[in-house]
Copies of this chain bind each other. A is one copy, B any other.
Amino acid sequence: MAKPLILVSNDDGITSRGIKKLVELMKQLGEVIVVAPDSPQSGMGHAITVGDTLRIKENRLFGEEVRSYECSGTPADCVKLAKHHILKDRKPDLVVSGINHGSNSSISVLYSGTMSAAIEAAIEGTPAIGYSLCDYDPDAEMDHVDEYLLKVAQEVLDKGIPKGIALNVNFPASQSQKIKGIKVCRQANARWEEDFDQRVDPNGRKYFWMVGNFVNHDKGEDNDEWAIANNYVSVVPCQFDLTGHHAIRVLNDEWDI
């Protein structure tokens, strides 16, 4: 039987340590092809390139046996280009994105380029997983994730994912205790409260840096923030049908239309 074909992308850019680690692990499970941004794309959300051109360039960043392409676009662009141009003859069996240097749990899933690559694949019906490490240090220790990262990917290759879903997987940062296991969770009710650090440039003009403070309003124990804080790997099944079905009834009852 042919080995599964695994497409790897990310949002930190093709030279980041996280994608190198992800490629090394995926080589244990199948044939790997990489299509990833040529520059960092953190915070790009589900952006796509609509008013500009795209370029791709083949490279050998992951050794002679791995086909690899850097792309000028966003993570979602990379998946579209991979599926509809580079891989025209054979669709991937699995799309993985990451390992992101930083958390994509709770509300951060909306801003996440990592997850947009996974969701883009899921829209087209390919099983897909976004992996993130809750440590923003680009040199962070990562070896503690290997066992759990492979476990989730193998389960998905064996059993698939429900239709209309991509998985958002977050790993606790490395610490002295071993990870306790994997928890399937809901997205925590948390958000970023922004502050703006105002400065003056050398020409005397004002500019700002956005500074986010994470605020967790969720007291439950069935959500991703709880899982990560308690040293579990969190797995949130994310859907791309955003309809709030409960609200349809409310609006139809209350509105005079």
B residues less than 8 Å from A99 (CB atoms) = none
* A207 and B255 contacting across the interface, CB-CB below 8 Å: no
Number of identical protomers: 2
For the complex, give the distance between the alpha carbons of A58 and B64 in Å.
Answer: 54
Of listed A50, A110, A206, A238, residue having the most chain B CB within 10 A: A110
Residue of B47, B50, B236 near A210 (CB, 8 A) is B50
Interface residues of A in 29-60 (CB under 8 A from B): 40, 42-51, 53-56
B residues less than 8 Å from A242 (CB atoms) = 109-110, 168, 187, 236, 238-240, 242
Interface residues of A in 198-249 (CB under 8 A from B): 198, 205-210, 235-248
Residues of A within 8 A of B (CB): 40, 42-51, 53-56, 76-77, 80-81, 83-85, 107, 109-111, 116, 119, 123-124, 151, 155, 159, 161-162, 164-165, 168, 181-182, 184-187, 189, 191, 193-196, 198, 205-210, 235-248, 250-252, 254-257
* B235 and A251 contacting across the interface, CB-CB below 8 Å: yes
B residues less than 8 Å from A235 (CB atoms) = 251
Q: Which residue of chain B is the closest to A54 with respect to CB atoms?
A: B208
Q: For residue A13, give the distance in angstroms from its CB to the closest CB of chain B.
A: 11
* A208 and B244 contacting across the interface, CB-CB below 8 Å: no
Residue of B155, B165, B248 near A247 (CB, 8 A) is B165
